[in-house]
Structure formats: structure tokens, C-alpha cells
Structure 1
């Protein structure tokens, strides 16, 4: 009985042949002759004790066992290629791999990245927008920017978020007191209605009736975009709305910011400790967040 896994040297040949459904195209991809590829697959079959292909005079046909094995081998080869690519990137001194939430990427990082590129033109910043946790331990990411409850961090935040009231200048072009804006739909994140209630209570407007809270959004970035589109008055994270306010796409209401229970953390991957490009990007991110100071307009209370 042959010993399984005595030699796996033909696995790549087999994977290519199964993918191309034949030896000739697989041999061309691997820069081999069809005869050499066929011999490698035959040795693999002997090692595994499995018939992977049926050889006919003019063609080959994969067996059921070969098809089942090909599915596993193709998956593993793909994972191996991704891992090798990731490991190569960790050795590239000019590459910085950043993981960030979708909202922060869209509304904070992307509008500002040109400034970092202008001062560090040799650095290749690769941003992956995902609300899933990045693989810092496995070397898949150099810097992760995460949105988290402040009381769960165990360390000072990169930035403690504050919420501000904003609206499109199409609704009214000048900063208005909150009391004058309550006839508009009041936009909020899903599950974030309590923030509006706290703000209204603080501003002495909790007794107002017939308020429209019907429009909610799953992400802060979508909430900000809804306000930009003039769909109502939004209570939005300042970090996500600052660029739109600076560009005149949003107007800030005459209302002090509302402190949030959430903020941002910056996490570093262990594989690139001390890498100059990563250090430079971290310093730049910290500086950009440090500029987020939502100075409060004059607070006006309802009378």
C-alpha cells in the first residue's frame, strides 16, 4: 500500500491541470512540456494511491476523487498565495497597510490622504475599509483604526468623538439655533435615538412634540451623506462631518457638541515595529485627529 503524502511535488501541476481541465494548457501556464507535467501528476497519484485523471488517447478526464481533491488544493493554493503576498508586503519599506471602518475611510481618511502623499510621495498607503477586526497578529495589517466604546479601551483614545448638529445649506444657508430646525426630519444612526433625546433635554427642548425621527442610517458615513443630501438635520459624529463642513457642504447649527461614549483607537501590527513609513503614517494620523476640535458655537436655549 503506498504511503500517503510521501511526495506532494506534483500538487501545483495537478491544481493547474484540474483548473484547465487538461494537461496542455496547464503545462503552458507552468512553462513545462505536457509530458513533464503528466509525469509529475503520475508520481503524485502513486504517492497518494489515488487515480486523479483517466488518460485517453487524445484527452484526459478528471476523476471524482481528483475533482474533490482539486477543490481543496485550489483553496489552499489561493490562501498560500495571499499569505506570501502579505509577507512580501511586510518587507516592503515603502508600503503601509491600513485597516479602517467604512465610514472613517470614506469621510475622514480618503479626503485627507493627499496631504500625506504630498509630504511622503515614496510611501504606498493601502487602505482596506472593513468593519471587521484586522489581523494585526498575523501580519496582515500595519495600522488599524477602530471605533470603540471609550470605557472598553483601557487606554486614552486617539480621539474621543463628539456629535454635532448639521444640515445642508439648501435647508437654510446660515447657522441656526436648534429650536428653529426641529421642524425638519431629525436624522440619526440606527439605535442612536437616545443621543437626540439627551441633546434635546440638555437644550431645554425635551417637551417639543411632533418631531420626526423616522430616518435612521446603519453607518455614521451614511448619516453624514444623508445630511449633505438635504434629507434632514443630522446629529452626526464630528470626525466624519468635519470635511463636509470645511467645504461648505454642511452647516453647523448654533448648538454645543454632544460628547459621545465612543471614540477611535490606533493599533499597530507587531510585524512592522519601528518601520519609518509606518511611523510616519501614524504620526500624520495623530496630527489629523488632533486638529478635530469642534469649538462650540454660542449656545442658545429655548425660552
Structure 2
């Protein structure tokens, strides 16, 4: 096979020409390129001889582009800019190793971020970029490596299950010790403020469903506080503002730290679980494989730790 060869001007004279044409000055071009004026002049002469045309019209007090020079200047600017952009992009890709992940705000704030230092400490050269939201995005189109999705098992497709979820009431230790309003059994919740998540996509986190699962008739609490984000609801519970439906494993860390307590042991399995989804490009990235391995180790700890066994749920 015969090799092809591009009949193009040499790069150094072309760079000198572009700088001189842009500045309309050999002196300014020389300063920009860290060359002498005579060196720039020689580069331009070499280029003109290579092309067989005059590129500049030299006047006593001005430097003008010829018609051929104007044509070459337009093309050279475009070509050099594209080379510059491509080189910058390639260098950036080689220098930065990153894992991009999308998940729900609740999982990001309450479960993933508190553990993330263990991964970044073991992999200091890898950037982790988390996008928290309830919208399901196409990983390949959005350029995202991984997603941890909260959905029903029959809608998860071929995604890998990380852990299930159980739900039970949680509150601050101070609220649990309130002798005027003891929390000895679930019906005692009628004396307390219940923290309610107002999200049409999370109807299964309604208090009445938990009461129904335990066979408790309609129960009217002292009051309700409503929240649009689960992590805010849990923060309200930590600060003693009421009783929340705690989602294991999201609140397990707060229970271990003693910031929350579970006054009752009756937990209910959620119909949803957390699943890991990978983009097609992620499989070839070592940093993403390392993150997945770490993530699976962390989720394995959930099944071996204290509290409800979330993997026993469907």
C-alpha cells in the first residue's frame, strides 16, 4: 500500500506567519514567539518560497497582507485553533482521571458522601463527581459513568442490586427520653409531631402505609411537618423536631453515631431497592472499575452490620 503525504507548509514558518498576520507586525510576532525579528522574517521568507507567492506587502510604515496572505491567514487560524483545542483536550483527558455518578439526593447526602473519604483516600489521583437528582438520565448521552438508582426490582432490568430497604420510625435521643410523651409502642406516636416527605414519587414513605402494615388503624398525630427532600427531613429528626420514617441503610450511620434512635423494632420492607447501572464506556476505565469494587465492599458491610437486613427485602 502506498503511503499518502500531505503537501503542506512546515509548521514553524506557518506559526510565524499567523502571528505576523494577526499583529501586522514582525516585531510583535517576534516578541510573542520569543524570537528575533530577523528570525521571523526568515521564517516568512521560507514560507513564501515554499508556496511560491508573496504573503505580505511591505511598506515603509506598514505591513499589509496580500490577497494570497489573507486567504492563508483565514485557513491557518482555523487549522491552528483546531490543533490547539484537540491537543488541550487530549492532554486534559490524560491528566484527569474521574468517576462521574448520578444518584438520589437522599442516598448521596446520607449514605455515599459520609463514606466517600475512604475511596478518595485510597485513590488520591481520582476525581469523584456526584450529580444528585431524582431524574433518570441516559448515562451514555450525558457522559456519566455510573448511576445508583432507587427503583422497584421488576423495573431494574439487568442492573446490579446493591441493597434493599426497610423503613421504621427514628427520632433524636432527647425526644425518645421525653417522659411526658413516652414512645413505648407505635400508638404513642399520636402524641408527637410526624415528619412527612411530600414527594409524589415517594408515596410508599407515607406514615399511613407504615401504620397499615402494622395493623394500626387511622392514627392522628399531634402535628405534621412536611418536607420536599428526604435529607432535610432527617436533619429535622436529628434536631429533635419530630419523628421520621427512617430508611435503612440511609440512616444506619446516624443510628450508629447515636444522633438518631429507633424507639420501636417494627420495620417494614420497602418495595424499592438500590441498583447500580454502568455506562457502556465505563467498563474500560480502570478508575471506574476501582470505584465499583469499593462500592460493592461498602454495600457488603451493610449486609453484615447491625440493624435490619435490607437484603432480606425483595
Q: What TM-score bracket applies, with the shorter chain setting the length?
A: 0.5 to 0.7
Count of residue correspondences: 236
Question: Which of 118, 121, 125 does residue 128 from structure 2 map onto?
Answer: 125
Are 1:289 and 2:293 matched, yes or no? no
| 2:168 equivalent in structure 1 | 164
Are 1:264 and 2:267 matched, yes or no? no
Query: TM-score normalised to the size of structure 1?
Result: 0.62
Q: Give the distance between the partners of 1:128 and 1:193, measured in 2 at CA.
A: 24
Q: Secondary structure of the residue that 1:291 maps to in structure 2?
A: helix
Structure 1 residues 133 and 89: alpha-carbon distance in aligned structure 2, compared to 1, 3 A threshold: farther
Structure 1 residues 290 and 212: alpha-carbon distance in aligned structure 2, compared to 1, 3 A threshold: farther
Are 1:251 and 2:222 matched, yes or no? no
Report deviation, 1:173: 4.2
Are 1:187 and 2:195 matched, yes or no? yes
| 2:116 equivalent in structure 1 | 113
Structure 1 residues 223 and 290: alpha-carbon distance in aligned structure 2, compared to 1, 3 A threshold: farther
Query: TM-score normalised to the size of structure 2?
Result: 0.60
Structure 1 residues 113 and 173: alpha-carbon distance in aligned structure 2, compared to 1, 3 A threshold: farther
Q: Secondary structure of the residue that 2:139 maps to in structure 1?
A: coil
Report deviation, 1:165: 0.9
Residues 143-163 of structure 1 deviation map (CA, whole Å, 9 limit, x = unaligned):
111222333223463222221
Q: Secondary structure of the residue that 1:263 maps to in structure 2?
A: strand
| 2:107 equivalent in structure 1 | 104
User: Where does the alignment leave 5 or more consecutive residues of structure 2 unmatched?
Assistant: 1-31, 34-62, 76-84, 310-314
- Kindly report the root-mean-square deviation, in angstroms, between the aligned alpha carbons of the 2 structures: 4.3
Are 1:241 and 2:251 matched, yes or no? yes
TM superposition outliers: structure 1 runs of 4+ over 6 Å? 87-90
Report deviation, 1:139: 6.1
Q: Give the distance between the partners of 1:188 and 1:166, measured in 2 at CA.
A: 12
Q: Secondary structure of the residue that 2:174 maps to in structure 1?
A: coil
Structure 1 residues 91 and 216: alpha-carbon distance in aligned structure 2, compared to 1, 3 A threshold: farther
Is the CA contact (8 Å cut-off) linking 2:97 and 2:125 kept in structure 1? yes
Q: Which of 1 and 2 has greater Rg?
A: 2
Structure number with the higher helix fraction is 2
Report deviation, 1:274: 3.6
Q: Give the distance between the partners of 1:231 and 1:163, measured in 2 at CA.
A: 19
Report deviation, 1:255: 2.5
Is the CA contact (8 Å cut-off) linking 1:90 and 1:272 kept in structure 2? no
| 1:196 equivalent in structure 2 | 207
